[in-house]
Homo-oligomer: A and B are copies of this chain.
């Protein structure tokens, strides 16, 4: 089970970062016993009146009741407070009408406890699919959660939302704007069923900056495309993927169109996205796949994901083998425009292929040595045009199999 897994060797060396207080947000966690024992499994974030809520969600056709409920509510604007409640252990996905009832009961409970409208309560559930969510265990804990709300509870919140994660994920940036400090802090959980084509997994980001919903939502969408939509662990897409970004406005600092704020938000999202990959199930290598010289932007993504999702490329990386033939194979199967005789490939600084053949100076021994590192860059130049992209992934190891062959047992 999740708890006994060793911490990923790719986890940040400095542990969980020291996240700043975000004015207007308080956190609480509790051991509700939804499924796990002896650990927190529900987190509540209370957001001050005036908070702007934005988000992006999985495009899965079988998305969970909580995701459907969030999608209904996210476009509404309100000056009331808001709340986010997340449970781990049970995804409340594929639970039919019971699933909707459970979400409604939780939202109602939080609404009453915090004195905010029900349409301002956003929930997520993560864990096993297809089993009814024992929502009474959550609603009966709401009073305790309210009593424990604290401005400094974000690190505990990051722990409560973990499933097969081996380390909690947090990131923050602070920027000085108009002589004041604006903070952005976020938490995330992975770590299987990670693929793009939507905000991947569960991510909650908070800022005390002031920004209108109409400004923040497209910004979040655009940054999501460059961050969470550029990672993949196993090409599987969750039914519950949710990214919520809440701007409390508590500093009174308006960041509309502010480049420093955009940079801070981008860095937090990029950091969290990469942490999710670093905790990819069974991962021992962090892999950056760069594609350049493609004829279109879409082709660059196709090639990058074909490489990043290829089981044969990922097992070669696990085996520390500079097996560039498998990279060629992945380019070929991607469906993107490619010309074998214009293709060049690098592992790190080691050029292995040039114009469709092995590079004249290529040293297998040097490349093999490079593959022993924890960070592996694979770069492909298609030699056809001027588009490019980067996608992050991890290797595929026997530990991935072990985790996923046993997860429900």
Residues on A lying within 8 angstroms of B by beta carbon are 58, 60-63, 91, 93-98, 128-131, 192-193, 195, 197, 234-239, 309-312, 315-316, 318-319, 321, 323-326, 328-341, 343, 353, 355-358, 396-398, 400-402, 404-409
Contact = CB atoms under 8 A, between A and B. Distances in A.
13 contacts: A60-B332, A61-B338, A93-B325, A94-B340, A234-B312, A237-B329, A239-B328, A311-B400, A315-B404, A319-B406, A319-B409, A323-B407, A398-B401
Number of copies: 2
Given A238-B329, A310-B236, A324-B130, A316 B397 contact: no
Nearest to A91: B325
Contacts of A60: 329, 332-333
Contacts of A406: 319, 321
Given A236-B312, A332-B61, A333-B60, A358 B326 contact: no
Nearest to A237: B333
B312 A62 contact: no
A239 B310 CA distance: 14
Contact of A353 (B130, B310, B312, B318): B130
A336 B192 contact: no
Given A328-B129, A329-B239, A356 B195 contact: no
A60 B331 CA distance: 8
B325 A357 contact: no
A235 B311 contact: yes
A397 B401 contact: yes
A304 to B, nearest CB: 15
Contacts of A335: 61
A62 B329 contact: yes
A197 B396 CA distance: 24
Interface centre among A91, A318, A407 (most CB of B within 10 A): A407
Contacts of A336: 61
A71 B193 CA distance: 39
Nearest to A95: B357
A343 B404 contact: no
Most chain B CB within 10 A, of A98, A328, A355, A396, is at A328
A398 B402 CA distance: 7
Given A321-B409, A326-B129, A408-B323, A63 B96 contact: no
Contacts of A404: 311-312, 315-316, 319
A229 to B, nearest CB: 14
